[in-house]
Chains A and B, each alone.
Chain A
Amino acid sequence: MSASTATNTVETEPMLAPHGRLGMWMFLASEVVVFGGLLASYIFARLRHSSWDEFASQTMTSIGCINTVLLLTSSLFIVLSHHWAERKDIKKSGKYMLWAILLGVLFLVFKGYEYQHEFAKGITPLTNLFWSYYFFITGLHALHIVIGLVINALTLREIRKGQNLQRVEVAGLYWHFVDVVWIFVFPLFYVAS
C-alpha cells in the first residue's frame, strides 16, 4: 500500500507507536466498554436478585477452572510466539502460535461441552434472567475467541511466510484482551455463588 510506504519516506512528527499496535489499542479501548457495560449490567442485576446465588452455584466451576488455565496458558504461548517473532525465528514463533491456537480451540470444546450439559439439564437462555446473562455474556466472549482464532490463524500464515511479523504483537494484544475478559467472567459467573 502506498500510504504505508510513503510514510516511511515522508518526514513526520514522532509516532506514538506503530500503526497496528496503536490502532489495536484504540479498538480494544472501545471493546473494554462493551464488556464493561455488559458486566456492570449483570452485577447490578445480581445485587438486586439474591436468588441468583443458587443459579450461579449450578454453573460448572471445574470446567470454568480448566478453561481459565487453558486461556492463560494460551496467552503465554502467544507471548512466546511474539518473543521469537521479534528475533525473526519464524519456526519457533510459528510453533508457539500454533499451540496458542490449539488451546483456544480446546477452550471452545470445553465451553461447548458445558453448554451441552446445561441444555441436557433443561437450562436454556430462556430459563430466567440469570441464565440469559450467562449465555449471552459467555456466548459473546466465545464469539470473541472465534474471531481471535481467525486472527491468530491468519497471523500464523504470515509467520510461516516470514512476512509481516509485527502482526504477531497486534494479534497477541487482541488475544490477551479476550483472556482478560474471561478473567472477569470466570469469578462473576463461576466462583461467586
Chain B
Amino acid sequence: MTSHQSNFWNYYIFSKDHKMIAKQYLITGLIMALLGGLMAYVFRMQLAFPGEAVPGFGDVDSGTYNQLITLHGTIMVFWVGMPILLGAFGNFLIPLMIGADDMAFPTLNMMSYWTFFVSTLVLLASFFVEGGPASSGWTAYPPLSARPEYSGVMWGMNLWILAVALEFFSVLMGGVNYLTTTFNMRTKGMKFSRMPMFVWMQLAATVNFMFSVGPLIAGALMLLLDRTIGTSFFVPDKGGDPLLYQHLFWFFGHPEVYVLLLPSLGIVAEIIPTFSRKPLFGYKMILISTAFSSVLAFMVWAHHQFISGMDPRMAMPFGLLTIIISVPFAVVLFAYIATLWKGSITFTTPFLFAIAMIAEFLIGGVTGIINGAAAADIYVHDTYYVVSHFHFTLVPITIFGMLAGVYYWFPKFFGRMMNETLGKIHFWITAITFNVIFIPLLQMGMGGHQRRIPDPTEFEYLKGMMGMHKTATIALIILLIAQAFFIFNFFYSMYKGKKAEANPWKSTTLEWDAPSPPVAHGNFEVIPKVYRGPYEYSVPGCKQDWSPQSAETVN
C-alpha cells in the first residue's frame, strides 16, 4: 500500500483507503441527491400546474409521474441516505474516531463501494430501457410490481430489483467491516464506554440493517422470479400472497428507518456538545434507549399495513408497540436538548443544521403518533399526511443530518474550512422552505387528499387545494435553488477555502488528533491513546474548556 499514492488508479479509483472510499460514497450520494431533488421538482410542477409542460423536462403523463415518484423515493432512501450516512460518514469516521489506521478489511471495503457503484449504474440504466424505469412506488408492492403487464414496465422494474439487491449486498459488506473494525481495532484505552456516540450509532444502525435485510433479499428474488419466469409467490392467481411481500418489505422497512436515523443522531450527538461546550447529557441513557428502540424496531412493521387486509386483530399489538417506540427516541431527543441547557453555544452552520434536525424530526415523530394508532391511521392512510409525516422524519435525518455532518467534518475531509456566511444563507433558506413545502401537505392529507394522483384537478373535491399545491411547489423550487449555495461552497472551499488546522472546532474526539486531512496511510502521525470519555468539555478546574480523549493531562 506504500505505492498507492504514486498511481492515479490506485489512489482515486480502486482505493482501499477508507478516507478515499468515504469521499467516493459522498460524491456519488450527493450527485444522486441532486437527481432525486430534480425529480421532485418535475412531479411537484405537474401537481401544481397539471397538464402544463414542465420547464426543462416536458409533459408528464401519469406513467411518467409514477416512475418519477418511484425513483425519487428509491434514490433518496437507498442511494442518498445509506451511502452518505453509512458509506461516507461511517467509513470516514469509524477508524478515525476509534484510533485505527484503516478498516479491518480494506479490500472488502473497496469491493463494497464498487458494488454500490455498479448498483448505481444499473439503476440509472433502467431509465434508458424500453418502457422506462420502475413505476410501482418505492415499496414495489405486488401485484402491481409482480407482472409486467400491470404497470407496463418490464426491464425497468427488473433492473430496479437488481440494483436494490446489489446495493443491499454492498451495505452488507460495509456492515461486516464496520462491526469488525469497531470490535477489534479500538486503540489502547478506547473502551466501549469511551466510544463516541457516533460510533455507537453506526454500530446499532449496522446491526439493524444486517438483521432486517435478509427477508427482503429473499422477497426481492421471489419478486424477480414472479416477473421473469412466471412463478406466483406474490400473485393470487396460483395461490400466491401479495401480503407476504408487504410483510417481508416492512420487516426490513422499519429497521431501515433506523439504519438512517441512528447515524444521523450520531452526527448530531457529536456536533451539539462541541458547540455547547458541554458533555453530552445522559450518554448511558442514550445507549440504552438506542438498544431498546433497535429491538422494538423489529416488532412494529405491520403498522404500515393497517388497511392492507391483514388480520385486524394484529393492529392492536403493532399499534401499541409503535407508540411505545416513541419513548426511547423521546429520551434521546431530550438528552440532546438537555445538552444545550446552560451551554455556551456558538451558532455555526453545522450546529444550526444539527438543532434543526432535532426540531424537524420532532414534528416527524409527533405526526407519527397518529399513524401509529390504527383507528386514527385509517383516516389518513395513503394521503399526503403520510407523505408529509414521512418527509418530516426522513428529510431531517438524511438531508439536515447529512449537511450538518458535511459542514462539521469538511475540514477533516478536505483540509479546508467551508464558508460560514454561505453556509448560513443555505441553512435558513433550506430550513424555512422545507417547512413551507410540507406543512401544507399535512393539511392536504387531513383534508383527504390521496397521494399518487398525478392530476388533482380531475377531482372536484381536490380543486380547493390547488393553492397549497402551488405554495409547496414554489417553496421546493426555492429550496432546490438554495442548494446552489451549498454546491458552490463545497467545491470552492475544497480548493480555495481557509486552510483548516487539525482541530478547528476545539473538539475532543480522536479524529481531531489527526492532521486535516488525515495522513494518507495510517491516518495519524502517531496512533493516539485514550485516557478519558468522549465529551469532556468545560471540566471544572481546567483552563482549556475541552479535554481531548488523547490528552494524558489537561490543565
**A residues bordering B, Cβ < 8 Å?**
1-3, 6-7, 10-13, 15-17, 19, 22-23, 26-27, 29-38, 40-41, 44-45, 49, 125-126, 128-129, 132-133, 136, 140
Please indicate the chain A residues that have their CB under 8 angstroms from the CB of B101 in the complex: 2-3, 6-7, 10
**B residues bordering A, Cβ < 8 Å?**
1-2, 16, 100-108, 172, 175-177, 179-180, 183-191, 210-219, 221-222, 225, 229-233, 238-241, 244, 248, 251, 521-522, 527, 529
Q: Please tell me if the beta carbons of B527 and A10 are within 8 angstroms of each other in the complex.
A: yes
Q: Please tell me if the beta carbons of A26 and B238 are within 8 angstroms of each other in the complex.
A: no
Return B17 CB to nearest CB of chain A, in Å. Answer: 9
CA–CA, A2 to B239, complex, Å?
55
Q: Please tell me if the beta carbons of B522 and A6 are within 8 angstroms of each other in the complex.
A: yes
Please indicate the chain A residues that have their CB under 8 angstroms from the CB of B105 in the complex: 19, 23
Please indicate the chain B residues that have their CB under 8 angstroms from the CB of A26 in the complex: 175-176, 179-180, 210
CA–CA, A149 to B179, complex, Å?
26
Return A125 CB to nearest CB of chain B, in Å. Answer: 6
Q: Which residue of A lies closest to B247 (CB)?
A: A41
CA–CA, A35 to B241, complex, Å?
18
Q: Please tell me if the beta carbons of B231 and A132 are within 8 angstroms of each other in the complex.
A: yes
Q: Please tell me if the beta carbons of B215 and A38 are within 8 angstroms of each other in the complex.
A: yes
**Of B102, B191, B222, which contacts A13 at CB under 8 A?**
B191
Known contacts being A1-B107, A22-B179, A129-B238, is A31 close to B214, with CB within 8 Å? yes
Q: List 27 A-B contacts (CB under 8 A).
A: A2-B521, A2-B522, A6-B101, A6-B522, A7-B101, A10-B187, A10-B527, A12-B185, A16-B184, A19-B105, A23-B105, A26-B179, A30-B213, A33-B210, A34-B214, A34-B218, A35-B214, A35-B218, A41-B215, A41-B244, A125-B231, A126-B229, A126-B230, A126-B231, A128-B239, A129-B239, A132-B232
Please indicate the chain A residues that have their CB under 8 angstroms from the CB of B106 in the complex: 1, 3
Please indicate the chain B residues that have their CB under 8 angstroms from the CB of A7 in the complex: 100-101, 184-185
**Of A30, A44, A128, which contacts B211 at CB under 8 A?**
A30
Q: Please tell me if the beta carbons of B183 and A41 are within 8 angstroms of each other in the complex.
A: no
Q: Please tell me if the beta carbons of A12 and B221 are within 8 angstroms of each other in the complex.
A: no
Q: Please tell me if the beta carbons of B103 and A3 are within 8 angstroms of each other in the complex.
A: yes
Q: Please tell me if the beta carbons of B218 and A128 are within 8 angstroms of each other in the complex.
A: no
Q: Please tell me if the beta carbons of B239 and A30 are within 8 angstroms of each other in the complex.
A: no
Please indicate the chain B residues that have their CB under 8 angstroms from the CB of A136 in the complex: 221-222, 225, 231, 233
**Of A10, A23, A34, which contacts B215 at CB under 8 A?**
A34
CA–CA, A35 to B218, complex, Å?
8
Known contacts being A6-B522, A23-B176, A30-B175, is A12 close to B214, with CB within 8 Å? no
Please indicate the chain A residues that have their CB under 8 angstroms from the CB of B175 in the complex: 26, 30
**Of A11, A37, A129, which contacts B214 at CB under 8 A?**
A37
Known contacts being A19-B105, A19-B180, is A27 close to B215, with CB within 8 Å? no
**Of A15, A17, A41, which contacts B248 at CB under 8 A?**
A41
A-B pairs with lowest CB-CB distance, top 5: A37-B215, A33-B214, A34-B214, A3-B102, A30-B210
CA–CA, A23 to B104, complex, Å?
9
Q: Which residue of B lies closest to A13 (CB)?
A: B186
Q: Please tell me if the beta carbons of A41 and B231 are within 8 angstroms of each other in the complex.
A: no
Return B532 CB to nearest CB of chain A, in Å. Answer: 15
**Of B103, B177, B215, which contacts A33 at CB under 8 A?**
B215
CA–CA, A132 to B244, complex, Å?
15
Please indicate the chain A residues that have their CB under 8 angstroms from the CB of B172 in the complex: 27, 30
Q: Please tell me if the beta carbons of B179 and A41 are within 8 angstroms of each other in the complex.
A: no
CA–CA, A45 to B244, complex, Å?
9
CA–CA, A115 to B184, complex, Å?
45
Q: Which residue of A lies closest to B251 (CB)?
A: A37
Return A167 CB to nearest CB of chain B, in Å. Answer: 13
**Of B211, B230, B522, which contacts A29 at CB under 8 A?**
B211
Q: Please tell me if the beta carbons of A1 and B188 are within 8 angstroms of each other in the complex.
A: no
Known contacts being A19-B184, A30-B211, A41-B248, is A3 close to B225, with CB within 8 Å? no
CA–CA, A19 to B184, complex, Å?
7
Q: Which residue of B lies closest to A11 (CB)?
A: B188
Known contacts being A1-B1, A7-B185, A33-B214, is A125 close to B229, with CB within 8 Å? yes
Return B531 CB to nearest CB of chain A, in Å. Answer: 13
Q: Please tell me if the beta carbons of B184 and A12 are within 8 angstroms of each other in the complex.
A: yes
Q: Please tell me if the beta carbons of A2 and B1 are within 8 angstroms of each other in the complex.
A: yes
**Of B177, B188, B218, which contacts A37 at CB under 8 A?**
B218
Q: Please tell me if the beta carbons of B218 and A41 are within 8 angstroms of each other in the complex.
A: yes
CA–CA, A12 to B104, complex, Å?
13
Q: Please tell me if the beta carbons of A15 and B184 are within 8 angstroms of each other in the complex.
A: yes
Q: Please tell me if the beta carbons of B104 and A3 are within 8 angstroms of each other in the complex.
A: yes
Q: Please tell me if the beta carbons of A33 and B213 are within 8 angstroms of each other in the complex.
A: yes
CA–CA, A7 to B210, complex, Å?
26
Please indicate the chain A residues that have their CB under 8 angstroms from the CB of B183 in the complex: 15-16, 22
Q: Which residue of B lies closest to A52 (CB)?
A: B239
Return A136 CB to nearest CB of chain B, in Å. Answer: 7
CA–CA, A11 to B229, complex, Å?
55
Q: Please tell me if the beta carbons of A13 and B189 are within 8 angstroms of each other in the complex.
A: yes
Q: Which residue of B lies closest to A9 (CB)?
A: B527
Return A164 CB to nearest CB of chain B, in Å. Answer: 14
Q: Please tell me if the beta carbons of B210 and A29 are within 8 angstroms of each other in the complex.
A: yes
Please indicate the chain A residues that have their CB under 8 angstroms from the CB of B215 in the complex: 33-34, 36-38, 40-41
**Of A10, A13, A22, A38, which contacts B218 at CB under 8 A?**
A38
Please indicate the chain B residues that have their CB under 8 angstroms from the CB of A3 in the complex: 1, 101-104, 106
| New A-B pairs, 9, CB < 8 Å, besides A132-B231, A136-B231 | A2-B101, A11-B529, A16-B183, A16-B184, A19-B104, A22-B180, A23-B104, A26-B179, A31-B214
Please indicate the chain B residues that have their CB under 8 angstroms from the CB of A30 in the complex: 172, 175, 210-211, 213-214
